Every structure is written in C-alpha cells, then in structure tokens.
Chains A and B, each alone.
Chain A
Amino acid sequence: MSLNWQASCSLALIQLRAKLLHEIRAYFYVNNVLEVETPLLCQSTGTDPYLDYFTSHYSILERDYYLQSSPEFAMKRLLATGIGSIYQITKAFRNGESGRYHNPEFTMLEWYRVGFDLQQLMNDVEQLLNPFLMVENFSEKAERIAYADIFKKHTGLNALQFDVSEYQACAESLGFPEASLLCALDHAAWLDFLFSHVVQQHLGQASLCMVFDYPACLPSLARMKLDNALLVERVELFIQGIEIGNGFFELTDVDEQIRRFDQDIMDRKNNGAVKIDKDERFLAALQSGLPDCSGIAIGIDRLLMIISQKSAIDEVLAFTIKNA
C-alpha cells in the first residue's frame, strides 16, 4: 500500500499548537475567564447569507443536526444565564470553504467578556496575542484603525456613502473590471470585494492590526454605534494581510436580532442558499436578557500559520480535509 497516511505537518508544529493552546488556557485562567464546552451537533445554526453547513443524521429523532459553524449562539445562551466571562476552544465546520487559508473543519478560539466594550476587548486581544507575535520586525503596539480611514487610504472611496459610479471607476482603475458585475448595486458586496482585493494585504505588516467602526451595512452580530447610525461596533483582526479574528460589542436587542435574521433568511433565499430557520432558543435567551458584553473569535490554525511563518493552512494541520 502506498496510501499517504502520514501527518501533513511536522511534529514541531503539533508541539507548537499544544504550547499555544496551553498558553491561551493559562491566560484565561489567570484572568478568571471560565472555559466552557458547547455542542458540535446543534438543532439550529446561524443564518449567515454566505455560509454553507454540514449536517449529520441523528437516528433517534430521525432528523438532521448541524455541525456548528460557530459556538456563538450556545455561548450567548450561557451568558444569559449569568455565568460571567467565558471562553471556548472548539472545532467549527464550514462546508465548501477550502483553500490556502481555509479548511472546512478548523479550530476556533471564542471568548466573551462581560461588561467590556469594544476598546476594552481590543486591549484584551492585544494582551493575549502579543506574546505569540514575536515575529521579526513586529511591533508590540497594535495598530487600531477605523474601517472608513483604511478604506479611504487604499481606495480613495468613502466606505460609509455608496456612490456606485465612483466605486465602479475605482475598481476599473485598479484592474478589477469584473467587480461591477459581481457586486452590482450591493454596497456590502462592494465593500467586501474591495476590502479583500485591495486593502487587506496591507494590514498588519508591522504589528497586529485591528480594524473597528465597521460600516452599518456589515453588522453581523454587532450592536449599532450609539452616536453614529452609519457605524457598528465590530472589529476584525489582521496580521500580515491575513484575517484572523472577528469580534463585536454584542447585540443584545432581541427585536433587532430578529430583523437581522429575517434579512439574512431573505438574502439566503435570493442567493439560492439552503433555508435556515431562526435559532429560537438563542432568541429566547436574548429575550430573557444578555448582559452587556464583547466577544471575539480567532482562527487558531491561521494564528499558527503566522507564528510559524507557513504559507498555507495545510502546513499547520496534522491531517487536512484531503487526508482526514
């Protein structure tokens, strides 16, 4: 038999992963953040318009369960019980996502800090990550930059005000004539396209980069900014051009959450994506009251790629989707 049974990555990387996980757990232990576990098999899941799910059949109930794509709803149900700050290191599953930075099954660190706003969460992220980022020529001081500022710097466009002809002209001049067809009149799609094709590669080259004050059309589960209706309280983390995390000052308003679910469900329908129902248990938890908190998810495999200076996620996984 010449079947390739060996590990994809080196023993050194398996050891590095173990050390990283140990140090993350030590950090949260010292900071009194409780480690929790939530189910991988779930009856409900997120309604994200662009996520595709795995399901598995449960024979006793004769129904399909989702393999979780993120532990956020379950963790928020724990938060609503008054558990306090919590974290989890877990596998998450996203169907169809495979490439240099994606494996359909990946390891996620997710945590919530009760009573923290977004700036406090960013301090927390900086404290946690800095010891790991002893990469050459890398500054310990994280860069914090507003979405609209960094977007303007690299595209010249106003991210908060959508002028389709200006966006088209910008894409043309930067060598992306196809963007007009792909993004049409969808402001969020334009922002995603231009950010990922033009802006992202410049971020986090000299230090951890945290982009905050996201445009209101990219809200995900962030609450609206109190003093500015054009912005939401969302942050994304970038290191060496790689997106490694996404966090929010969490939305606690159940009616707004229902509106966003409904919008997602409609978007999924229009995209021809599989129908997903709202997670009613999560909504009931929100209804009963989620404490003010900020939370963030970080991709552990990508963080390992950066720490070990590997160029593909396959190089830091013991077994990838191809030889799992």
Chain B
Amino acid sequence: MASYSTSEFKAGMKIMMDSDPCAIIENEFVKPGKGQAFSRVKIRNLKNGRVIERTFKSGESVEAADVVDVDMQYLYHDGEFFHFMQPESFEQFQADENAVGDSKLWLKDQAMCIVTLWNNAPISITPPNFVELEVTDTDPGLKGDTSGGGGKPATLETGAVVRVPLFVQIGELLKIDTRTGEYVSRAKA
C-alpha cells in the first residue's frame, strides 16, 4: 500500500483518513519550543465534501488514497444509477445518487464531466464550469423588460431551477455557471 510521510504533504494530495478518501487543502508545520513537531492539516473528505482539520505527528506515514479524476461522458440515468463512459476505452462506470449529489442538476446526456474514482468506483462528479441547457418551463407572460431588474424562475431540462431575465422564453438554450448555479447568457443555438 502506498503511503505519504507528513513531510511530503501538499495541497491536492489524496490520503485515507477514518476509512474515507480525503484531499489535503493546507498543511501547516507546527513545532512548539523544543518539543515534538506536528503537521496540522486541513482536509476535504471527498465522499461528503466536508472540511475538517487534523493533526499528525511530524514524520508519521499516512496511507495514500487511490483517487483519480477522469474525463468521462455522461450517458443516461436508469432511475437508480447514473452511467458514465470513458471515451477512449469505452469503459463504463455507474455512480449512485450519493456520488452524483447536486451535480445531477447539471448533467446533460452526452456531456463531458469529471468523474472522481476511488479504488476504481465513482465517488463524486464535477460538471463542466459552464453548461448549456434548454428552458422547459418559465412564465411566458412576463415580457417587455429587456434586461436587468428582478428576473423570474425558469426550469431547465435537467430539472434545475435558475433565475433568468424576463425576456427568456421556453425552448431557449441558456448558458449556466455550474459553480454558482447562475444564469450567464443565452446560448447561440
């Protein structure tokens, strides 16, 4: 089993903690006057996204987590699992509701996204920063105003609801920033 010493710790490194794969965000070397040295580490749990802090004895070895980010194409949702495919190998992976989480709001059939694999199984999905999605429902009555001011809710093809300007109509394609869940612009169809 691969492992890392605390002296190798750096941001982005993936380690196992409390049986979960985690990513190191920050590592601080702590040495109280003439005493034992510690590594105070800020870590994100890759399964639930929670950030915690933990102290290790300096020089201690910690098990590495076999975690990789792979570009994959989203295929379909079968009601229970979300299916992805690695385009080069055609290898398919299925991710459950837990792994996909809120990312499902931005998953469009055939679109590329990043699948994080732990021991070759998906644990989280990161959609592209920007996606283009069609409006399936919004109040058509609110017309006239061409820009700014207020806005209205619109439901997109994936089920996501975002605030859009009043001029946006059903059937239009919109560009959305998935990191904030906000409308960016109308997309060129």
Chain A residues 85-105 with CB under 8 Å of chain B are: 96-102
The answer, among A48, A196, A246, for a CB contact under 8 Å with B38, is A196
The answer, among A50, A97, A189, for a CB contact under 8 Å with B29, is A97
B57 touching A50, Cβ below 8 Å: no
A48-B34, A193-B38 known; A101 vs B29 contact (CB < 8 Å): yes
Cα A218 to Cα B35 in complex, Å, equals 8
Task: Give, as a whole number of angstroms, the nearest-CB distance from A237 to chain B.
Answer: 10
**Is residue B54 within 8 Å, beta carbon to beta carbon, of the partner chain?**
yes
The answer, among A50, A96, A98, A176, for a CB contact under 8 Å with B34, is A50
Cα A195 to Cα B38 in complex, Å, equals 12
Task: Give, as a whole number of angstroms, the nearest-CB distance from A248 to chain B.
Answer: 11
- B56 / chain A contacts, CB cutoff of 8 Å: 178, 182
B35 touching A100, Cβ below 8 Å: no
B29 touching A197, Cβ below 8 Å: no
A188 touching B33, Cβ below 8 Å: no
The answer, among A102, A178, A195, for a CB contact under 8 Å with B32, is A195
- B55 / chain A contacts, CB cutoff of 8 Å: 176, 178-179, 182, 193, 197
Interface residues on B, range: 20 to 34
Task: Give, as a whole number of angstroms, the nearest-CB distance from B16 to chain A.
Answer: 14
Task: Give, as a whole number of angstroms, the nearest-CB distance from A287 to chain B.
Answer: 24
**Is residue B19 within 8 Å, beta carbon to beta carbon, of the partner chain?**
no
Cα A178 to Cα B6 in complex, Å, equals 15
Task: Give, as a whole number of angstroms, the nearest-CB distance from B67 to chain A.
Answer: 22
Cα A189 to Cα B57 in complex, Å, equals 11
**Is residue B36 within 8 Å, beta carbon to beta carbon, of the partner chain?**
yes
The answer, among A97, A182, A189, for a CB contact under 8 Å with B31, is A97
**Is residue B40 within 8 Å, beta carbon to beta carbon, of the partner chain?**
yes
**Is residue A314 within 8 Å, beta carbon to beta carbon, of the partner chain?**
no
Interface string of B52-71 (1 = CB under 8 A from A): 01111111000000000000
B33 touching A243, Cβ below 8 Å: yes
Cα A220 to Cα B54 in complex, Å, equals 28
Nearest B residue to A94, CB-CB: B31
Interface string of A154-192 (1 = CB under 8 A from B): 000000000000000000000110110010000011011
**Is residue B37 within 8 Å, beta carbon to beta carbon, of the partner chain?**
yes
A176-B55, A179-B55 known; A246 vs B28 contact (CB < 8 Å): no
Nearest B residue to A219, CB-CB: B34
Chain A residues 184-213 with CB under 8 Å of chain B are: 188-189, 191-193, 195-197, 200
B32 touching A97, Cβ below 8 Å: no
B29 touching A200, Cβ below 8 Å: no
- B7 / chain A contacts, CB cutoff of 8 Å: 96
Cα A100 to Cα B39 in complex, Å, equals 12
The answer, among A98, A99, A179, A188, for a CB contact under 8 Å with B35, is A188
**Is residue B25 within 8 Å, beta carbon to beta carbon, of the partner chain?**
no
**Is residue A236 within 8 Å, beta carbon to beta carbon, of the partner chain?**
yes
Nearest B residue to A188, CB-CB: B35
**Is residue B30 within 8 Å, beta carbon to beta carbon, of the partner chain?**
yes
Cα A179 to Cα B57 in complex, Å, equals 10
B37 touching A100, Cβ below 8 Å: no
Chain A residues 211-235 with CB under 8 Å of chain B are: 218, 220
Q: Max chain B CB contacts within 10 Å: which of A175, A179, A192?
A: A192
Q: Max chain A CB contacts within 10 Å: which of B28, B38, B56?
A: B38
Nearest A residue to B53, CB-CB: A175
- A182 / chain B contacts, CB cutoff of 8 Å: 38, 55-57
Instruction: List 13 A-B pairs, Cβ < 8 Å.
Output: A48-B34, A50-B36, A97-B29, A98-B29, A102-B31, A176-B55, A179-B55, A192-B35, A192-B36, A196-B35, A196-B38, A197-B55, A243-B33
Task: Using CB atoms and an 8 Å cutoff, list the residues of chain B in contact with chain A.
Answer: 7, 27-38, 40, 53-59
Besides the contacts A50-B36, A50-B37, A196-B32, what 10 more A-B pairs have beta carbons closer than 8 Å?
A50-B34, A50-B35, A99-B29, A191-B35, A193-B32, A193-B36, A193-B38, A193-B55, A196-B35, A197-B40
Query: Which A-B residue pairs are the 7 nearest by beta carbons?
Result: A99-B29, A192-B35, A196-B32, A192-B32, A246-B33, A220-B34, A236-B33
